[in-house]
Amino acid sequence: MTLTPTNRGKQYPFSLILKMLANTWRRLRIFYIALAVTALILTLLELLPPILLRSILDIYLKEGQMSQIWQAAAYYLAAAVGSSFFAFGQTYLTTYIGQNILMDLRLLMANHISKLPMNYYNRTPVGEIMSYMSSDVDSVNALFSSGLISGFTDLMKVFGIATAMYLISPRLFLVALLAIAAIFMAANYFRRNILKAQMEIRKAVGKINTYLQELFNGVRVIKCYVKEDAYEDKFQVPLREHLKSINHAAVFDSYFPCVTQTIRAITIATIILLGARTGNMDNTILTIGSLAAFADLVSRLLGPIEALSQEFQTIQQAMAGLKRINGFLDEEVEEKGELHHIDHPLTQTKSGIAIRIKEVSFGYSKEKTVLKGVCLDIEEGKKVAIVGRTGAGKTSLMNLIAGLYRPLEGEICLSGIDPYRLCPEDRRRLIGIVPQNTQIFEGTIRENITLRDERITQEEIEKAAKLVGLHELIVSLADGYDTMLGIQGIKLSFGQGQLLSLARAVVTDPPILLLDEPTSGMDALTESVIFDAFRAVGNQRTIITISHRLSGIIDANVVYIIASGKIVQSGSPEKLAGEKGWYNVFRQLEDLGWRLDI
Ligand SMILES: Nc1ncnc2c1ncn2[C@@H]1O[C@H](COP(=O)(O)OP(=O)(O)OP(=O)(O)O)[C@@H](O)[C@H]1O
């Protein structure tokens, strides 16, 4: 059985725990059974010493049976050694089961992440997502490895010891019950407060991660402006919040054992007093041995109860983590409905239209519309440029064509297929995308081109690299296509990174290429190298280039000018050059050396 994230309402942490336990039951049944048996044996071993104590005091000592005393002492020792052996088994089994449950939880979360819509990433800081996957999951680890499962064995001990106490003296057992009730009431009070404090801690950790992520991303800018001190000060805010919430939790955590120790002392004193009085009154009801055994059992009973309660910090921490994980799993996943496949091999459409955009409106939130009633029909094999000022909506339009978002109104078709519902395996066979910022992943050049798609052959990789003019450079490196890139490997220049990005886009030979400001920020020489590469891969493909300057567009057959989310002018560059309008305004400004984004 595999777990799947749900969209159906909020889950409670407890139901998630049950789900995780049920999920591992089939695979780890034998371990669960072994754990239950171990817990049972540990409980029995816990009962043996007080029983032996009673026999020694009431029978063997009275009757001077030294050999029996030696035997009882040997059993006592065996029970102690056996306890430590089975305690080891319990710890091992608990850890093993706990780690398996955690692996399932991490897989469930990873599965969920891949199904979340782009909008989720727009509104959630990366540090927050990292906290879910790291510290929140780690806190759940404690729940399974030391909280829940040892709680189960402690409960068994409590039950076994309580039964033995009842059998020795039902009256004194009532006193012990009062102590148990007092401890549970205190525990409940502390539990609520610790949970509150733990939620605060988790939130503070999320803020720290968000801060660190921002710091690492912006380290170059911070260093350039020598703003380390300002960022250090800023870091103090989440750190102080973290410290405050930890202190808050620690107060409750350290206060609780004091309360339980006091209850324990009062209970033992009361039992000895009452037991002695009962013994004095009727002389036979409670023997010295029974009283000693009872007092020993009280200590042993309160031990697991205290252990259970002392684990509140751990359990509450885990509950706080689980609550956050639950919230994350309750985030609505993208329901795309039936996915569309492309034909193999991809045939030309009857209409000859590669990209059709019909009356499309779009916004990232309901409050703000970014694109309004956009219509474009792009013929197969045509080179189209979409030009507009910064913030005009070009990247948003590109994102819609790439199928990353669903339009609020209207429809988009690529070779007759809705890109939003395009099957993931077919996506790269239809569209290649070169985004504004080159993204290099930790891994080899080969992996960076294929994005770990095993179906892409070495021949296809080399063909793409040759096409964009990177092959010579790659084979001149000692490890060729196996050269590592990223932090651990070699660094590419911006232009080389853009060429690699282009190779990644064309390696699957898609008929449609989307280029988002591919040469922004490059010098004229590098730009001309990139332009040559684009021309080389252009051939029969339909290419959309977006740019905020006319000089950034490549051999366009048609230019669309976009302003405030609307297409305001369109046509061939020659036609637009002869018209009054935006195109000519842009051209004149650029000729004068003005930048459109100023
Ligand atoms: N992820 C996002 N969430 C919310 N609003 C966004 C997001 N991305 C862009 N916007 C908003 O949408 C509008 C259009 O942005 P878009 O990035 O499409 O413009 P652009 O023409 O590509 O600009 P540029 O040339 O600077 O890249 C802007 O007002 C921007 O603030």
CA nearest ligand 1 atom 24, residue = 390
CA nearest ligand 1 atom 28, residue = 391
Is the CATH code 1.20.1560.10 the one for domain 13-329? yes
CA distances 505 to 47, 389, 458, 543, Å, are: 70, 26, 15, 12
Task: Tell me what the mean pLDDT of segment 212-219 comes to.
Answer: 79
Q: Are 297 and 335 in contact (CB under 8 A)?
A: no
- Counting from 1 in the atom list of ligand 1, the atom nearest the Cα of 395 is 22
CA nearest ligand 1 atom 25, residue = 390
CA of 589 from ligand 1 middle (Å) equals 23
Maximum average pLDDT range among 109-123, 459-473, 571-585: 459-473
What local confidence, expressed as pLDDT, does residue 313 receive? 60
- In angstroms, the CA 154 to CA 349 distance is 69
CA of 508 from ligand 1 middle (Å) equals 29
The pLDDT tens digits for 75-89 are: 888 888 888 898 889
CA nearest ligand 1 atom 31, residue = 391
Confidence category of residue 146, pLDDT binned at 50, 70, 90: low
CA of 43 from ligand 1 middle (Å) equals 64
Which CATH number among 3.40.50.720, 3.30.1330.40, 1.10.760.10, 3.40.50.300 corresponds to the domain 353-591?
Answer: 3.40.50.300
What local confidence, expressed as pLDDT, does residue 476 receive? 93
Task: Tell me what the mean pLDDT of segment 22-39 comes to.
Answer: 89
CA of 581 from ligand 1 middle (Å) equals 24
CA of 363 from ligand 1 middle (Å) equals 10
Q: Which of 362, 389, 390, 395 to mutate to test the pocket of ligand 1 (most atoms within 8 A of CB)?
A: 395
What local confidence, expressed as pLDDT, does residue 9 receive? 39
What local confidence, expressed as pLDDT, does residue 238 receive? 85
CA of 379 from ligand 1 middle (Å) equals 26
**Over 80: is that where the pLDDT of 539 sits?**
no
- Location of each CATH 3.40.50.300 domain in the chain: 353-591
Q: Are 380 and 430 in contact (CB under 8 A)?
A: no
What local confidence, expressed as pLDDT, does residue 428 receive? 86
Beta strands at 512-516 and 383-388: parallel, antiparallel or unpaired: unpaired
Confidence category of residue 483, pLDDT binned at 50, 70, 90: very high
- In angstroms, the CA 136 to CA 205 distance is 9
Characterize 536-560 residue by residue with b for buried, 16 or more Cβ atoms within 10 angstroms of its Cβ, and e for exposed. Answer: ebbeebbbbbbbbbbebbbebebbb
CA of 394 from ligand 1 middle (Å) equals 8
The pLDDT tens digits for 493-520 are: 888 888 899 899 989 988 899 988 877 6
The first and second tokens of residue 475, run together, are 């084979």
Q: Which of 120, 362, 394, 548 to mutate to test the pocket of ligand 1 (most atoms within 8 A of CB)?
A: 394
CA nearest ligand 1 atom 26, residue = 390
CA distances 523 to 494, 495, 527, 530, 535, Å, are: 11, 9, 6, 11, 18
Pocket of ligand 1 (CB under 6 A): 122, 364, 370, 388, 390-396, 548
CA nearest ligand 1 atom 14, residue = 393
Averaged pLDDT score across all residues of the chain: 81
- Location of each CATH 1.20.1560.10 domain in the chain: 13-329
CA nearest ligand 1 atom 16, residue = 393
What local confidence, expressed as pLDDT, does residue 264 receive? 80
**Over 90: is that where the pLDDT of 303 sits?**
no
What local confidence, expressed as pLDDT, does residue 521 receive? 60
Q: Which of 119, 122, 362, 364 to mutate to test the pocket of ligand 1 (most atoms within 8 A of CB)?
A: 364
Give the ipTM of the model, two decimals please. Answer: 0.96
CA of 223 from ligand 1 middle (Å) equals 27
Cis, peptide link before residue 345, omega less than 30° from 0: yes
**DSSP classification of residue 539:** T
Instruction: Please tell me the chain's helix, strand, coil percentages from 3-state DSSP, rounded to the nearest 5.
Output: 65, 10, 25
Question: Where is 341: in which H helix or E strand?
Answer: none
**Over 60: is that where the pLDDT of 367 sits?**
yes
What local confidence, expressed as pLDDT, does residue 5 receive? 43
CA nearest ligand 1 atom 1, residue = 122
Please list, in sequence order, all residues whose beta carbon lies within 8 angstroms of the beta carbon of residue 238, skipping any fewer than 6 positions away: 204, 207, 208, 210, 211
CA of 212 from ligand 1 middle (Å) equals 25
- In angstroms, the CA 515 to CA 432 distance is 8
- Considering Cα of 578, then 584, then 590, then 596, what sign does the dihedral take? negative
